[in-house]
Structure 1
């Protein structure tokens, strides 16, 4: 299933979101891994058809849904305990990450420090047939600056089928599938969602191309992350 966003007010969605396409990095962009996927620039407001394309169906699968939320954080609350009331006793706190100001994408490779660009998570190591059942990621922007989450509109199963038409059912969808998809000239649209300090998202980052961003922001932004199986609407929606 493609990117689906839960919202109540389309004007509020459009106020927070912009849309663009992607490209692969050039050899001279040495801060990135070779072949990494990054925004192609020229972010633009979402049109009515853009909003319609990401509108969730009447009965979406909760595990593939994107929600913009206000996590229940208060000063003094241990971050490890933030998801305790949300209904998944097996939820995992992943820790924090600090993004410097004005980063087009934020995630780097632990081994060499190069940025990996837009990517697919693989905490659950799920095969093609089960990829849509992975845990969703909860993110809380701890500030002090604003940040974005960037999400691709085409899902990992669709990309895996396109790259491996003859044996996709035995594959494990991976970031490399997306890189080959884009390198082959196939377009991917991406949505950038703005998150102020104290705001967050719940998203299927095992299933959708994604990364954080602080592009054009003049302050750093720390974010905290969790993984879990949570039903739709368990947290207050921002939109």
Structure 2
């Protein structure tokens, strides 16, 4: 399934989202895929493309939310009342201002660009069933989540047409897909402090961004299996 964003107010969706193509970059990891920087407002066709079907799988759905966080509350306990007793707190990350992408390779610090998470280590047939990531922007700056419009199974099937069933979809599949000259579109979603997202980051390529903001932004992250609508939507 492609990128699907849950919304009930199209104007609120459009006000928060932009669309761009991608490029590869060499100063970071070889072949890393990053937004082109040529962001434009969502057109009607863009809205239609990301609109979730009537009965989407919760595990593949993107939601823009306001988690019930209060200053001074322990982040480890934030998700306890949300319906998944096994949800895991992953910790925090701080992004500098004006970063087109924010995730670095822990070994050498080079930025990895759009990537797939692999906490659940799922093979091709199960890649859509992973846990979703909850992110809360702790501020002080605004940040974005950048999401690829094609899911891991579709890209893996294209890049490995005769062997995809036996593979674990990987970030390298996206790098090969883009390097082959195939069109690829990304959507960025603006998140001010106190706002967040639920997204299938094992299934959709993604990264954070602080592009255009002069302040740093810290974010907290969790992994869990939350049903749609358990956290109030912003759109």
How does the TM-score come out when normalised to structure 1? 0.98
What whole-Å deviation, never above 9, does each CA across 1:156-209 have from its counterpart, x for those lacking one?
000000011001010000000000000000111000000000000000000001
| Residues in 2 aligned to 1:121 and 1:24: alpha-carbon distance in whole angstroms | 19
Distance 2:71 2:99 in 1: 28
Partner of 1:113: 109
Corresponding residue of 1:11: 11
Distance 1:126 1:89 in 2: 21
Question: How far is 1:75 from its partner?
Answer: 1.4
For residues 97 and 82 of structure 1, the distance between their equivalents in structure 2, rounded to whole angstroms, comes to 17
- 1:162 alignment partner in structure 2: 158
Q: Which runs of 5+ in 2 are unaligned?
A: none
Aligned to 1:47: 43
Counterparts of residues 56-95 of structure 1 (less than 5 Å): 56-95=52-91
- 1:134 and 1:85 map into 2 onto residues whose CA distance is 21
Correspondent of 1:129 among 119, 125, 144: 125
Structure 1 residue 41: deviation in Å?
1.6
Structure 1 segments (4+ residues) deviating >6 Å = none
TM-score (norm 2): 0.99
| Cα offsets for 1:115-149 (capped at 9, x unmatched) | 00010100100000000000000000000000000
Matching residue of 1:222: 218
Partner of 2:85, secondary structure, is coil
Distance in 1, matches of 2:37 and 2:76, equals 36
Report the number of matched residues.
235
Work out whether 1:23 is the aligned partner of 2:23: yes
**Distance (Å, rounded) in 1 between the aligned partners of 2:191 and 2:158:** 32
